[in-house]
Amino acid sequence: MEKIIVKGGCKLSGEVNISSAKNSVLPIIAASILSGDKCYIRNAPMLEDVLVICDVLRSLNAEVNINRTNNIITIDTSKACTGEPNPELVRKMRASFLIMGPMIARFGKFRISLPGGCNIGTRPIDLHLKGLTALGVKIKLGHGYVEANTNKLIGNKIYLDFPSVGATENIMMAAALAEGETTIENAAAEPEIEDLAHFLNSMGAKIKGAGTDTIKISGVKELKGVTHTPIYDRIEAGTFMVAAAITKSKIKINGIMEEHMKPVIAKLTECGVAMEIQGESIIVDGDRDLRPVDIKTMPYPGFPTDMQAQMMALLSTVKGTSIITETIFENRYMHVGELKRMGAEIKIEGRSAVIEGVDRLCGAEVKATDLRAGAALILAALSAEGVTAIGDIYHIDRGYVEIEKKIQMLGADIRRLKE
Ligand code: UD1
């Protein structure tokens, strides 16, 4: 088992480059199933989750080539079959379920094990299934499997009870090859959905409104293979912004879209962090007296749930009382216990966490309980007195490209220990 060891207290300086967004690349790899032609993904982040979805496609006979030298993933699904994807891989990651929409659209039938993922809530798939049913898919559930069949997908009007990211993506991908027009209302508006729509449109799809709460899709008969470079990872960028704030340092982060960062920039500004945008870079100066803030996680363009744990680490070190309310997932406070081991003062009251900032966190033995929780522990450790050893870091590797190397380059005392 590997660990990340951090000796806290170092100031950070220099520049860091942000990778492409995990949450864009996963649906885009799934969407490549919609065409029998080859698709190329440039600047692909070599993350565990990305490798898993590539293996899921391989288990369906797709040829997937991962070139780590130039970070290009080539996907050829011309020989893909309707057989069942490897259930062990599917259970490793919830995003595996994103292949449902493309598989049913291309082959008319599909059987897949119910998905797994981070332990951050029950995360049902009812909205995905409701949407696909509205397009004419017959769904059978049983023995831990979803079985889907259709003679023909036909466009429809779909109103999502909640703007689920995955459900919006699955419906959008299936509707791209349906007959007629589909409208998704109360759709998720995350930048990654817009990126997926760009990918699909360059394949020949006709999608309008992605990135807003109403998406209109005019179905087409077929889609062609394309080359795509995904957007930058706004959560990785946000994590490094908090790294500057929590260590009271000034760093330059390369690879951001200002528009996508607005919710995080707004909160950090309220907190007192100074920031300056320079094109696709941001300079973050955390060497200030910071103020406590209240945060409520919301669907985009609200504050992202994927930045909640990192902000909690920061607010644990900011004098005064901050309140975080998690509205997206019902069980996303598993990092609280670990932060408390490091001296944080946090109380959970229902969906809210009340944080009393302390003068200093202290190093401890902790465990990453999920992906962003793990990132939060690294951030806490950077500011803490003494040494922190973070275990179960496979969670972190699911979503951050060589995080310890990137932080090391900024001058921190951090290393990966193979036990
Ligand atoms: C995606 C992101 C994840 C992020 C999340 C919320 C990817 C690969 N992952 O996950 O990093 O934290 O968006 O921004 O893009 N829900 C239902 N029924 C459904 C679907 C979802 O009740 O059919 C609920 C979930 O349980 C959860 C909430 O809706 O409470 C949000 O889920 P969703 O937006 O679907 O998140 P994911 O697509 O799984």
199: closest CA among 236, 162, 180, 224? Answer: 224
Which residue type is seen at 39?
C
CA 260, distance to chain mean position in Å, is 13
Which residue type is seen at 65?
N
What's the pLDDT at 117? 53
- Report helix, strand or coil for 415: strand
Cα of 51 from ligand 1 centre, angstroms: 20
| Residue with CA nearest ligand 1 atom 17 | 124
Bridge partner residues of 252 (DSSP): 15, 283
Q: At what angle do helices 191-203 and 22-31 cross, to 10 degrees?
A: 30
What's the pLDDT at 120? 45
Distance CA 76, CA 333 (A): 40
What's the pLDDT at 81? 81
DSSP designation for 114: P
Helix (H) or strand (E) segment spanning residue 2: strand 2-7
Cα of 409 from ligand 1 centre, angstroms: 33
What's the pLDDT at 119? 52
Q: Which of 25, 123, 186, 195 to mutate to test the pocket of ligand 1 (most atoms within 8 A of CB)?
A: 123
**Ligand 1 neighbours (beta carbon < 6 A):** 23, 26, 94-95, 121-128, 162, 164-167, 188, 192, 305-306, 328-329
Per-residue pLDDT of the chain (419 residues; tens, 9 = 90+): 899 999 999 999 999 999 999 999 999 999 999 999 999 999 999 999 999 999 999 999 999 999 999 999 999 999 988 889 999 999 888 999 999 999 999 999 999 998 865 454 556 899 999 999 999 999 998 888 999 999 999 999 999 999 999 999 999 999 999 999 999 999 999 999 999 999 999 999 999 999 999 999 999 999 999 999 999 999 999 999 999 999 999 999 999 999 999 999 999 999 999 999 999 999 999 999 999 999 999 999 999 999 999 999 999 999 999 999 999 998 899 999 999 999 999 999 999 999 999 999 999 999 999 999 999 999 999 999 999 999 999 999 999 999 999 999 999 999 999 87
| Residue with CA nearest ligand 1 atom 21 | 164
Distance CA 102, CA 113 (A): 16
Q: Show Cβ contacts of residue 180 under 8 Å, excluding neighbours closer than 6 positions.
A: 154, 155, 218, 219
Q: Which of 81, 118, 271, 362 is catalytic?
A: 118
Distance CA 282, CA 387 (A): 29
What's the pLDDT at 10? 93
What's the pLDDT at 142? 86
Does the active-site annotation cover 118? yes
Distance CA 10, CA 410 (A): 10
Phi, psi dihedrals of residue 389, rounded to the nearest 5°: -115, 120
Q: Which of 165, 173, 298, 370 to mutate to test the pocket of ligand 1 (most atoms within 8 A of CB)?
A: 165
Cα of 404 from ligand 1 centre, angstroms: 27
- Sheet of 352-356, strand order: 294-296, 321-325, 352-356, 345-349
